[in-house]
Structure 1
C-alpha cells in the first residue's frame, strides 16, 4: 500500500485545493445548510455546481464530450477529499450525478444523453431515484407500482417512499412492474419520469431529526412515453443493479462526528478518566483507522490504474453503526442536557442531530442486513440465502 501521492497526483491536489480556496469557505462548526434558508442553500448549491462544472471538476472521470474532464478515478478521489475540507453545498446533486445520470448514460439513447446530461452537470436540473416502496424497501424487486402499455405510452399508478429530494427534483428514474406474470426480478422496467408533470405528487416526510429530505411520491395515471424507457422492457432489474452499485459507492461513508470529536468533547466535559468510555474510544479509533486503511488500499489500486476489490462494501456498515454509537455515548455523557437540542446546547447540539439521522443512514443505500449478505456471498463466497420465491410469477406470491 502506498500512502503518498504520485507527482501527478500531488500536482492535481494542489490545483484542486487552490480552486476550492478561491470559491469556498473552509468547513466550520456549522454547515451552510444550517446557516441559511432552504431557498438560499439551493441557490448557492446550483451556483457552485455550475462553477465547478464549467471548470471541469463536476465529474472528473466522465469523458470530455459528456462535460467531464476525462481524468482518472484517483483524481476524482482526490477532488472529493479536498472538496470535503470546504463548506461545499453538494447535497442536491449527489443522487442525480452519482446514480441517475450514470444510469441514463449507460442505458439511455443519444437523445437522452444530449437532453439530460449537460443540464444535470451544470446544476440546472435535479434528479431523484424512485425505487423503494412501503412494502418493498430492502427487497426492491417486490415493488408493486404498475405500468400498463397504452399505445406509445405507459400509464403509471402506485406509490414510492423514502425518495430523497423528490420535492425539489425535476426528473427521476422510476422502477416499475410491467409484467406481473413474470418472476419478480424479471417483470420490471425502468423509465425517466418528469417530476413536475400531472399525476406526480411528492409529500415530504417530517423526520425525527427535524429535516424533510425524504418523501412519499404518488403516481396517479401518469403517462410516460415509451421513448423515455431505459433498457429493454422486463430488463429493469439489470438497469437497477447498475444504479444500486453507484448508490452504495456514493453512500459509503457517513457524515457526522467521529472519534476525535467525541474525544474533544469528553476532555471539555471531564469524562476522559472514565474507563468504560476510554475503552469505547479505543474501539472507535481502531475501527476508523481500519476503514481509513481500507480506503487507502482502494486509492492505491486506483492510482495504479487497477479496479478496486469488493472491500468497499464494508464502509457503510462500519461508519453508520459507529456514528450511532458515538452520538449515543455523547448524549449519555451530557446527562439531562442530552434530552435537549439547539445552538445553545453542548457541542451546538451536533450529537443529538446526528443521533436522529444515524438510523436512517443504516437503511439508505441498503440496510445493514442486505450489505452483510452482499459481503457474505460476494466477498467471502458463502452460500446464498434460500429464496423460495425465485421462479414464481409475481401475481402468485403471497402478499401482506
Structure 2
C-alpha cells in the first residue's frame, strides 16, 4: 500500500522511536454518524477497554426476548431509545415512523460503479422489501444469496439496485440509513425499507481473518468505501495506527519487520471494525443465525422462515441439503487449487478470495489484548469458543 509504505519509510528514516498518541475514546455508537473531521489520534488499549460490549450494557434479543421486525408494536421496539436507532437504519417500523420515503433530491450518479460500471441504474419506487440479511463483510452472505437464488428467491446483493421484483437483499451495507449520493449505502435503495431483517454471523475468527487479509479496509485504497464506514463507526486513521504498531514493536524489543507491522495493522483494523459493526447490529434486536447452521448443522429453520415471510411453501430439507453440499464441494475445490499465501497490503484489492490460514488467538493478543478479550466475549455470545476464558485468553507467553 503506497501510503503506508511512505509512512514506514519516512518514520524509519527519521529514526522514529515513540509515536505521539493522544488518548481519545470511541465515538458514541447507536448509529450516530461520524463527522468528517481531521484524523484523530490513535485509540490506546485503555480506551479500548472502556468500550463495553453492547451485549452486556444495552437491550438485545437475548435480554429483551423481543425481535424488532415486521413493524413490531412491542413496547420495547417502540421505545424512544430503540426508535432512535431504528430511524438511522433501513428497518420498516410504523411506531418508529421509519417508512419508505422518496429522496428529495435524486443522487447525481446515474450509472452503476464497479463491475457494473456504465450500466444505467434502474430506479424503483420506494417500497417495503420483504427481507434483508445483514452481517459484517466476510460472513457468508454470498453463500446465502446463491443458495436463495437456487431455491427460486429473487435475492440481490450490495452491487444490485432494488427492482420491482426484488424479494430479498443480502447485504451488510444496506442496514444503515444513508442519505447521500454515494454508491455504498442505502442511497442505492431509493428510500425503500425492509420488513423482516436477519443478522447473520459466521465463525468470528474466520470472518476476522477474511476482513483483515482478503478485503482489508484501507482508506487510501478505496476512499469511498472507507468514508461510508467512517460515517457509522470510528476507525483509527492509517498513520496513527501504523505509528502505534511501530511503538508496540519497539516496546517488545522485537526487530523491525515491515511484514509483521503490516499484518498487525490489518488485524487491528479488522478487530476495530468487527467489534463496532457487530455492536450496531446487536442494538437493533434482530433474529440471528449462523452460516454454520446451514453448512455444518443442517438446520434450515431460517430458510423456512424466509419462505413463510414470502408466503411461499418452504423447500424440503432434502432439497436444501443437496444444494448446500454441492455448493460447499465447489468452494472446497476452488480453495484447494489456490496458492496458500497471506494477503499483504500491496496485493490488489479484488474479489479473488485468496486463502489465508485462520488467525490464532495468540496473533490477536499481540495486537491488542483488550480487543481480543472483547472479541472472544462477543464470539461466545454468538455460540463460538465457549471453552475459552476471556480473562485468561492472552495470559500465555507468545
Shared fold, TM over 0.5: no
TM-score (norm 2): 0.24
Q: Which has the higher contact order (CA 8 A, sep 6+)?
A: 2
Structure with bigger helix share is 1
